[in-house]
Amino acid sequence: MIKRPKPERFRLRRTMMFMNAQKPGLIKDAYIYGCDSIMLDLEDAVAENQKDAARFSLYHALTTIDYGSTEVIVRINGLDTPHWQEDIRVCVAGGADGIRIAKCESAQDVRTVEAAVEAAEKEFGVEVGRTLLMAALESPKGILNAYEICSASDRMFGVAISGGDFRKCMQTTFQPDGVDMLAARGQMLLAARAAGIQCFDTVFTDLDDDAGFEAEVRQNKAMGFDGKSLINPKQIRLVHQVFTPTEKEVRQAEKIVRAIEEQAKLGIGVFTVDGKMLDIAFVPGAKRTLKLAKACGMYEGDLV
């Protein structure tokens, strides 16, 4: 049986690719695409009368297939279905890294899942606290309660918006400039940052619209998202490109951190480098760039 290493609450998650847990052809070699996380789906991708079969398939995939450093998350069925409890049992027994709570609307939803996860960890002899959680916000109520959801549990590593359901609730449709979900994305980002967890954008479903996809990914990056949910391997490369810092950004960040540390030793607080004003406030951003670069394998220095 494959023993996966203990999941890291905060790691690189630029791309999270959805995959139907019921389709062996998809899940057997999902790690070859190089996405940061895969999302094995027990929810919408699986027909109602195949939920049981999907769990057997998931259990053996989790315990047999070596996904290496690709994170393995499972999307479970909603709390309003008869399926979610058994979904949690199989995720924990199989050793999934994390569980995505579908249609999450309140901190109570997170706590309900957390209690079931803990019970399953005890039942299957898994270290209590090992299994991470993330929430998908799919309704106006979920967005309005984003902060309480994000801060509901120490297991929570991130939050994601689910565009399809959300747009339906809001009586709108996809807009190329993102105005349909601008407020929701913004509110969710605020909540995630305030709670100190990661934030992921929804899937882009038109696989033929490359320009539209790129525009959305760039907007995601500009808004401050950590990554994006994907439906097809061909979407991975662009997201990695956009979410990975450029060589120039990495060198700049390195220079900033070094300069500030050196100047601070000399008792200088504010100064200019390459014509730009710098002070201590620039350090966290520069260090974040270096951490991201390190996670992407671009930086091997010791500043972070």
Partner 1 sequence: MEICKTASAGTLESSDCLVTVEPGNGISLELSSSVMNQYGRQIKATVLETLQRLGVENAAVTVVDKGALDCTLKARVECAVFRSCDASAENIPWGGIVR
**Contacting positions for partner 1 (CB under 8 A):** 1, 23-25, 28, 51-53, 55-57, 59-61, 63-65, 82, 85-86, 89-90, 93-94, 124
User: Token digits for 28?
Assistant: 């057997």
Least distance to partner 1 from the beta carbon of 2, Å?
10
C-alpha radius of gyration, the chain, whole number: 20
Least distance to partner 1 from the beta carbon of 275, Å?
58
CB-nearer residue toward partner 1: 87 or 138: 87
DSSP structure string for 182-237: HHHHHHHHHHHHHHT-EEEE-----TT-HHHHHHHHHHHHHHT-SEEEESSGGGHH
CB-nearer residue toward partner 1: 53 or 182: 53
What is the rounded distance in angstroms from the CA atom of residue 180 to the CA atom of residue 170? 8
Least distance to partner 1 from the beta carbon of 63, Å?
7
What is the rounded distance in angstroms from the CA atom of residue 82 to the CA atom of residue 48? 11
CB-nearer residue toward partner 1: 85 or 151: 85
Phi, psi of 134 (to 5 degrees): -140, 160
Least distance to partner 1 from the beta carbon of 59, Å?
6
Backbone dihedral region of 21: left (phi > 0), alpha (psi from -120 to 50 degrees) or beta?
alpha
Backbone dihedral region of 22: left (phi > 0), alpha (psi from -120 to 50 degrees) or beta?
alpha
Total residues belonging to the chain: 304
Least distance to partner 1 from the beta carbon of 45, Å?
14
Least distance to partner 1 from the beta carbon of 245, Å?
38
CB-nearer residue toward partner 1: 29 or 261: 29
- The answer to whether the beta carbons of residues 63 and 2 sit under 8 Å apart is yes
CB-nearer residue toward partner 1: 126 or 298: 126
Across the chain, how many H-helices and E-strands are there?
A: 12, 10
Least distance to partner 1 from the beta carbon of 102, Å?
18
Sign of CA dihedral 38, 39, 40, 44: negative
Angle at 135 between CA 129 and CA 95, to 5 degrees: 40
CB-nearer residue toward partner 1: 27 or 286: 27
CB-nearer residue toward partner 1: 124 or 237: 124
CB-nearer residue toward partner 1: 57 or 289: 57
Least distance to partner 1 from the beta carbon of 62, Å?
9
